Structure 1
Amino acid sequence: MFLKLILTFTIVPILELIVLIQLGRYIGLWPTILIVAATGFLGIILARSQGLGIFFRIKDDLSEGRIPADEILNGLCVLVGGAMLLTPGLITDTAGFILIIPTTRNIVKSLLRSLLQKLIKHGTIRFYKIK
């Protein structure tokens, strides 16, 4: 697991640099900087609006006595997506937008649910009762 994290935190920035350098060569320095800044700014606005909506839906679920499991997963996706959008680069911005936009986020959520169900079924993740 530690090796995967090290690889992720070294390979992704290298790929980001390659993409940004190539884009800069193709369209120029300032347009590239403008694109990165615009995607970050737009992403923050989207993350804030989606996050507030999720917060209010969680609040409504709790006030009606329902467990907001789906909204908590939405919130986690928006939180991770917002963090990715704060990271300069086009690859992380794309991943961030995928996690923030509701349509694509629903696809990611279904994949996450499926993965979690498999992990629980195979005993990789265990839940313990708290007394």
Structure 2
Amino acid sequence: MRYLLFIFIVVPVLEIGLLMFSGKTIGVLPTILLILATGFLGAYFAKKQGMHALMKLREEVQNGRLIGDAVLDSVCILVGGLLLLTPGFVTDISGFLLLFPYTRNGLKPLLLRLLRNSFQNKNIIIMK
């Protein structure tokens, strides 16, 4: 519940505040161009990293290895790409952190711990 509060209230308020500050500081047009540039750049990197993750996933399946790491990479790339397509600076920074392999590898232990805690606490809801 507290995560939903953060996602749906705090993040949009931060985004609006930062966009207003940026519009005042560097101007409206540069702010809009910056938002568009991060969207296009994010789409490019998401496609590039997504293809790499897909090849890694295919290779691991063919070699009979566990695919957990490749699946987590793929999910991070998908979420990172979606965040980069969302206008705003907080979502852009979060998206780039999930998209680049070096920072994504640093975040994966935290994500695994969050997922493990969610499953252990039975916070995951499966809808049929």
TM-score range, shorter chain: 0.7 to 0.9
Distance 1:112 1:6 in 2: 19
Task: Identify the match of residue 121 of structure 2 among 97, 121, 124.
Answer: 124
Counterpart Cα distance in 2 of 1:119 and 1:32: 38
Equivalent residue number for residue 63 of structure 1: 62
Q: TM-score, normalised by structure 1?
A: 0.85
- CA-CA distance at 1:95 after TM superposition: 0.2
**Unmatched 5+ residue regions in structure 2?**
124-128
Larger Rg: 1
- TM (norm. structure 2) is 0.87
Amino acid at match of 2:23: G
Cα offset, 1:6, TM superposition: 4.2
d(CA) in 1 for partners of 2:121, 2:8? 25
CA deviation map 1:40-92 (0-9, x unaligned): 11011001100010001101111111121101000111111111011000110
**How many residues get paired?**
123
Match of 2:47 in 1: 48
Letter in 2 for 1:91: V
Query: Identical aligned pairs, as a percentage?
Result: 42
Q: Sort the Cα spacing of 1:117 and 1:7 in 2 relative to 1 into closer, same or farther, 3 A.
A: closer
* Paired amino acid for 2:36: A
Aligned counterparts of 1:94 and 1:55: Cα–Cα separation in 2: 24
Question: In structure 1, how many angstroms separate the alpha carbons of the residues matched to 2:31 and 2:78?
Answer: 26
One-letter amino acid of the counterpart of residue 83, structure 1: L
Name 1:85's counterpart in structure 2. 84
Q: In angstroms, what is the RMSD of aligned CA positions?
A: 1.9
Q: 1:102 to 1:19 in 2, by over 3 A?
A: same
Cα shift at 1:5: 1.5
**CA distance in structure 2 between the aligned counterparts of 1:20 and 1:27, rounded to whole angstroms:** 10
